[in-house]
Chains A and B, each alone.
Chain A
Amino acid sequence: MFGFNKKKKVESIDNKKLTPETIDVLTVKLSELQKKLDMTDDEDEKIKVYEELGAVYIKLNKTDEAIVAYETSIKIKEQFGKAYNALLNLYEEKRKAAALTKDDTEIQKWIRKTDNLLDMSKRVLRKNMF
């Protein structure tokens, strides 16, 4: 009815096997980004680099490192954007993995992190409104 009823393919983390060439390219990209981080003091620039780092880690299937990068980006400045969207999906992925192994501590950890993300969403919206 609304023209978007068909299920879109889910945008999820790429689990395809990476070729050695791709890994090499991504690793080089990682070290470039790390260098960029070391060289800058500008907060906006750092946020951008951390978001890029997160994206590269996702491509490398390094979920934990991606989470750390995105969380650091949000810690520098709470705002809506790539980091929030990515973290929401990554937390859910980790929660699902914990549920499959029936690890209660991990389940609670990732649900709590999602809750914190929602609290942040409220804070940012209110701050942006005024």
Chain B
Amino acid sequence: MVVINFIIHNILTQSAVIIALIALLGLVLQKKSFGTVLTGTFKTLLGFEVLSAGSAVIVASLTYFGKIFQHAFHLNGVVPSIEAINGQAMNTLGLGNEIAFTFLGIFIVNIIIARFSPWKYIFLTGQALLWMSTMTVIGGKICGFNTMVTVVLGSIVGGIFAVAMPALAQPFVRKITGNDAIALGHFCTIGYLFEAGAAWIFGERGENKHSVEDIKLPKALEFMQDTYLSVAVVMVPLYLVTGAFAGPKWAGVGTTNYMVEAFLQAIQFVVGVYVLLAGVRLLLGEIVPAFRGIAMKIVPNAKPALDCPVLFPYSPNAVILGFVTTTIGTVIGMFLMPAIGLAVILPGMLTNFFAGGTAGIFGNVVGGRRGAIIGGILHGLFITLLPALLVVALQSLGFVNASATDSDTIVAALMYAFVFAPILKAI
């Protein structure tokens, strides 16, 4: 009994162990060799610890940034980063177990829906599933659900999103790719549909519709070649300007010059993202292939929903235009949100590139050049508004100066805050 109690209270409550056990289950179900099971399980365990280390670095940097932003502008400045949210939820807030079980649950619900319904979509973007499980667990915590309800409801909501989002995007994907073989599995789809809607209203139609692909765009965005450089290009000036306004009293630490400190803290943020994403890759490197294999065997006629770069080759100019216009929209949104009483949401370069770029393809296919430009700017505003709406709920749970990014995951969490919670209060 003592041994069982020890295992329950000291081992099975550790998120890293739970996640490693899920990977072990997947590998055993696939009848992998003992050596593969052992190394796969260990790599997953290691991945979780690397993720936690990255998260700690990000939190330290964001805490500094929150302090200087507050003193510089007397406003709440929030960095949109789903990685930071996931890291804090898994690590600082101790939601790792719930997130791990929900991740597994979403996969199971996705397979069940695909197996028994006409919607054969299997969501294959592992990282996006991790973000979705994080946000549904956060939603459960916003509503005050216990662990069981949080995991079960999160699995159902996430599983439905995993099928519904590729299904909603499919008419557009068919038009973009010219066939029906693959689907889009990226939890920014509500943003894409928003841009498509805006492009339909404001864009070109019929004979007047001209594709972005017919024009030659200048090549002047060299920093975007490297993921981490693109984060640094935004974070360094942001920290420096904020540090300059905050002054030495708040931005300085010890004997280090305050501007040097602001610069180093910005670099720390980039380092944190780098480490955290390395952890995520390690963490999912074994789990995702194992469950992909299982899903494909259970639903052989599945339609794989793949990550957003799958669409880039069909409309590369629209990706660039989408990135630029979404960035313009997020900069406008940064100034606009405080005017309507919401937190300042700083532009997030990674989201602007991947979500903005893909949204640009949707805008272009629906409303041509004009649709992509106007739709892109509105998309930027939309993806700034969503995290702003979530800030209060996140901060009440203890999240430090960060908000989520991917629109579908935010909508899922907002659904908990604005639909499930009021219903629960009413009954």
Contacts and interface: CB of A to CB of B under 8 A. Distances in A.
| Chain A residues touching B, majority SS | helix
A68 B172 CA distance: 30
Contacts of A10: 179-181
A112 B304 CA distance: 13
B222 interface: yes
A84 B313 contact: yes
B373 to A, nearest CB: 17
Given A95-B296, A129-B225, A2 B196 contact: yes
Contact of A130 (B172, B181, B224): B224
Contact of A125 (B222, B297, B309): B309
Nearest to B308: A118
A116 B124 CA distance: 14
B248 interface: no
Contact of A104 (B219, B293, B299, B316): B293
B313 A8 contact: no
A12 B179 contact: yes
Interface string B356-374: 0100000000100000000
Given A1-B200, A102-B297, A121-B313, A8 B220 contact: no
| Chain B residues touching A, majority SS | helix
Interface residues of A, number: 41
Nearest to A5: B171
Interface residues of B, number: 42
A109 B179 CA distance: 23
A121 B309 contact: yes
Given A92-B182, A114-B304, A4 B175 contact: yes
Contact of A89 (B172, B179, B296): B179
- 9 closest A-B pairs by CB: A80-B313, A99-B300, A121-B309, A99-B296, A130-B222, A11-B179, A4-B175, A118-B309, A10-B180
Interface of A: 1-2, 4-5, 7-8, 10-12, 80-81, 84-85, 88-89, 92-93, 95-96, 98-100, 102, 104, 107-108, 111-112, 114, 117-119, 121-122, 124-130
Given A80-B313, A118-B310, 18 more contacts: A2-B171, A4-B174, A8-B174, A88-B182, A89-B182, A99-B299, A99-B301, A104-B297, A107-B297, A111-B124, A111-B292, A112-B289, A118-B306, A118-B309, A121-B309, A125-B312, A125-B319, A129-B224
